[in-house]
Amino acid sequence: MQERIEQFKKMAEADPQNEMGHFSLGKAYFDDGQFDNAIASLTRTLELNPTYSKAYQLLGDAQAKAGNKDAALATLTKGFEVADERGDRMPRDAMAKTISELGGTPPASKHGGTAQATLAEGTDFNCSRCGRPSAKMAERPFKGALGELVWANVCQVCWREWIGVGTKVINEMGLQLADPRAQQIYDDHLKEFLQLPE
Ligand SMILES: [Zn+2]
């Protein structure tokens, strides 16, 4: 765990404008029970990208774990609205659940549970990263189950963006993709960046 934290710290420092480095570091701190550090990294993530649904979710959880219920409720309420607007239903519903568990009342959804039903003509899904109604890319971006998941959820623009970011991840973290552990780290970043459904 400490090794993971050090790796993500290096990445966040090497590319301080990249929200993903801060998010991954925040998640590693969270998993390690370092909630104050997690809060700092996730707050930075949201400064860089205020529409990162999963960062609100994790920040709210970290604030709750750190004993700051009021901050958690404020974060999760804001996060719910962002996720609802983007059509990120899984983080949205998870935040609603946590708000209730903390004794709050989740805001009403403006978009219901039916984001998929309002798809524009000629589109296949709302992209998991940018939320835009999108058509599938002409071909699967790569083989395997993860490639299939990307193909079913991610638009061409976001996929291209990931290729740039993914290259940085490989270089900054010195990943050798022949090593299964390095491949796992790369895949984890890909899933986070593209906000793929679990
Ligand atoms: Zn997209």
Pick the more confident residue, 198 or 34: 34
pLDDT recorded at residue 87: 80
In percent, how much of the chain has pLDDT > 90?
66
* Residue 144 burial (10 A CB sphere; 0-12, 13-18, 19+): exposed
In angstroms, what is the span from residue 144 Cα to ligand 1's centroid? 21
In angstroms, what is the span from residue 133 Cα to ligand 1's centroid? Answer: 8
Predicted confidence at residue 115, as pLDDT, reads 43
**How far is ligand 1, taken at its centre, from the CA of residue 103, in Å?**
35
Q: What SS3 state is found at 164?
A: helix
CA 158 to ligand 1 center in whole angstroms: 4
Indicate yes or no: pTM above 0.75.
no
**Two tokens, residue 150:** 């990307």
What pLDDT shows up at residue 124? 85
Cα–ligand 1 centroid distance for 156 (angstroms): 7
Give me the count of residues in the chain.
198
- Tokens at 131, concatenated: 């939320």
Select the more confidently predicted residue: 10 or 65. 65
Q: How far is the CA of 169 from the centre of ligand 1 (A)?
A: 19
Alpha carbon separation from 54 to 2, 43, 111, 197 (Å, rounded): 23, 12, 18, 11
The answer to whether 176 touches 196, Cβ cutoff 8 Å, is no
| pLDDT tens-place string over residues 107-119 | 988 876 544 445 6
Q: What is the mean pLDDT of residues 127-136?
A: 86
Instruction: For residue 36, count CB atoms less than 10 angstroms from its CB and return exposed for 0-12, middle for 13-18, buried for 19 or more.
Output: exposed
Paired residues of 126 in beta bridges: 133
Please report which helix (H) or strand (E) contains residue 126, including its range.
strand 125-126
Each residue of 32-60: pLDDT tens digit?
A: 999 999 999 999 999 999 999 999 999 99
173 neighbors 10 (Cβ within 8 angstroms): yes
| Distance (Å) from CA 56 to ligand 1 centroid | 19
How much distance in Å is there from the Cα of 104 to the middle of ligand 1?
Answer: 32
Residue 35 CA to ligand 1 centre (angstroms): 31
Residue 85: pLDDT band with limits 50, 70, 90: confident
Enumerate domains of the chain plus CATH numbers. Answer: 1-114 (1.25.40.10), 119-198 (1.10.3880.10)
Q: Is the pLDDT of residue 157 over 50?
A: yes
Distance CA 71, CA 90 (A): 21
Contact 150, 196 (CB under 8 A): yes
